[in-house]
Amino acid sequence: MLSIVVPTYLEAENIPPLITGVFDSLDETGISCEVIIVDDNSPDGIKNVVNQLVADYPVRLVQPKGRERDLSMSVIEGILAAHGDHILVMDADLSHPPGLIPAMYRTLLEDESAFVVGSRYVEHGSFDRRWSLWRFFNSHIATLITRPLVQCQDPMSGFFAFRRDRVEDYDCLNPIGYKIGLELMVRGNFTSVREVPINFSDRELGESKLNLNQQIKFLRHLRRLYTVRFGTLGEILNYGAVGAGGLVIDLLFYYFLQLLGMPHQLARACSFWPAVSSNWYLNRVATFGERKRRPHGRQWFEFVLTSLVGFSLNWGVYYILTSGTAYFDDYRLLALIAGVGAASVFNFVMSSLVVYNEKRQ
Ligand code: GDD
Ligand code: MN
């Protein structure tokens, strides 16, 4: 049996057309199916709406209690409540055409070890042309940075199907934010991702619940998945990305202060501080964003203290190289990079062995 999981928040008006759409599309296909609506206690009378449908359709309403509203958690709870071996997840707002459910299901039956995605970006797929440029770019950039994790053109899709037992332990899933499909793709035992082209249409009723906060959560979620997939290499990549941003700031200040007439070795000592502050801030909001936050001032101070060793190494290498050899005095940028490199390796090793030595989630 196919269990269709539909997470909802404030979608009561969309439920009747969705349910009729789903069962019309399955009519005469011989596919048996149930629909599980996982609603985060919307104050919109969804209970009555579902009650009127249960006489005619195999529909259930699940309303989880005791946690904040959370799309990904709702999907997981829906999967756990399902009776079928095969799961299909879709939005309630009719963005995902119910007519494609049989095709998605058949694709899954052809290869039960695959993760099947209703995809906007493969040939014959499409999305609403009324999308704003912002939303379009957003979606594309997000897709691009997931490329090393999954071979999928539309990893953000909320329309997907898979065999339930391909995910070993649902308690281990740990999505932050919206992208439960991506989480399942990365953590489940899937041998491939199969994409079925869909025509995604924007909702007619109600409004989207995606906002900037969700975008930031997405970056943290990605970081975590990179670590799951690539282990220490993922952490190094993340650390490197933050560090690269710091290096740019470092260089800007290093040259700018010299333009103002500061001697180069002093400029080198000064430019370290804005760079290290930027690294601190990025690590605070992105890398370690899930951890409880201490007051800015104190945390910055502690961070700076722990960076002092790195700073001594960084500046020390620069100083020794530029004052000791004519070569590095000619190519000061190389000396700077050598210093940054030495300090980065040192900091990373210390961080991973001492400061953040807890087990990964
Ligand atoms: N239970 C529950 N809890 N459901 C929620 C919540 C929540 O906190 N927030 C949203 N939903 C439900 C909505 O009711 C809808 O059925 C579905 O999740 C998708 O939410 P939308 O608000 O319609 O999101 P969207 O259209 O902006 O995003 C869709 O497209 C994205 C890619 O463009 C979703 O499919 C996303 O998963 C997808 O990433
Ligand atoms: Mn939507």
Q: Which of 65, 94, 111, 80 shows the shortest CA–CA distance to 5?
A: 80
pLDDT along the chain (361 residues), means of 10: 97 97 94 97 96 96 92 95 97 95 97 96 82 74 88 93 94 84 94 95 71 77 85 78 89 95 93 87 67 72 79 92 93 93 85 64 58
Q: What is the CATH number of the domain that holds 208?
A: 3.90.550.10
Atom index in ligand 1 nearest the CA of residue 202 equals 26
Residue 304 lies in a domain: yes
Q: Which of 165, 194, 200 shows the shortest CA–CA distance to 91?
A: 200
Query: Is the same domain home to 341 and 248?
Result: yes
For residue 209, how far is its CA from the centre of ligand 1 (angstroms)?
6
Domain end residue (candidates: 205, 230, 255) = 230
Pair 153, 143: CB distance under 8 Å: yes
For residue 192, how far is its CA from the centre of ligand 2 (angstroms)?
26
For residue 202, how far is its CA from the centre of ligand 2 (angstroms)?
6
C-alpha span between 4 and 13 (Å, rounded) = 19
| CB-ligand 1 contact for 71 (6 Å cutoff) | yes
Query: Is the same domain home to 173 and 32?
Result: yes
Q: Which of 148, 183, 213 shows the shortest CA–CA distance to 76?
A: 183
| CB-ligand 1 contact for 37 (6 Å cutoff) | no
Strand runs labelled E in the chain: 2-8, 33-39, 59-62, 86-89, 114-119, 160-163, 192-197
**The two structure tokens encoding residue 44:** 């919109």
| CB-ligand 1 contact for 178 (6 Å cutoff) | yes
| CB-ligand 1 contact for 40 (6 Å cutoff) | yes
C-alpha span between 197 and 122 (Å, rounded) = 6
Query: Is the same domain home to 188 and 43?
Result: yes
Angle at 174 between CA 80 and CA 35, to 5 degrees: 30
**Best mutation site among 4, 5, 6, 8 for ligand 1 pocket (most ligand atoms within 8 Å of CB):** 8
**What is the structure's pLDDT at 327?**
93
Q: DSSP for 220-282?
A: HHHHHHHHHHHTHHHHHHHHHHHHHHHHHHHHHHHHHHHHTT--HHHHHHHHHHHHHHHHHHH
Residue 361 lies in a domain: no
Domains held by the chain: number? 2
For residue 262, how far is its CA from the centre of ligand 1 (angstroms)?
54
**What is the structure's pLDDT at 358?**
61
| CB-ligand 1 contact for 11 (6 Å cutoff) | yes
Atom index in ligand 1 nearest the CA of residue 6 equals 16
Other C-beta atoms within 10 Å of 177: how many?
Answer: 21
**What is the structure's pLDDT at 359?**
62
Q: Which of 70, 125, 92 shows the shortest CA–CA distance to 4?
A: 92
C-alpha span between 312 and 304 (Å, rounded) = 12
Domain end residue (candidates: 209, 230, 251) = 230
Going by alpha carbons, the residue nearest to atom 36 of ligand 1 is: 158
**What is the structure's pLDDT at 304?**
75
Query: Is the same domain home to 56 and 193?
Result: yes
Going by alpha carbons, the residue nearest to atom 17 of ligand 1 is: 91
**What is the structure's pLDDT at 109?**
97
**The two structure tokens encoding residue 116:** 């099947």
Atom index in ligand 1 nearest the CA of residue 10 equals 14
Going by alpha carbons, the residue nearest to atom 14 of ligand 1 is: 8
**Best mutation site among 209, 215, 217, 222 for ligand 1 pocket (most ligand atoms within 8 Å of CB):** 209
Pair 328, 321: CB distance under 8 Å: yes
Range of the domain at 305: 232-355
Query: Is the same domain home to 178 and 284?
Result: no
Going by alpha carbons, the residue nearest to atom 26 of ligand 1 is: 208
Query: Is the same domain home to 95 and 220?
Result: yes
C-alpha span between 183 and 162 (Å, rounded) = 13
Domain end residue (candidates: 185, 203, 230) = 230
Residue 360 lies in a domain: no
Residue 185 lies in a domain: yes
Give me the amino acid identity at 223.
R
Q: How many CA atoms lie within 13 A of 122 on its CB side?
A: 16
**What is the structure's pLDDT at 174?**
81
Query: Is the same domain home to 204 and 238?
Result: no
Residue 176 lies in a domain: yes
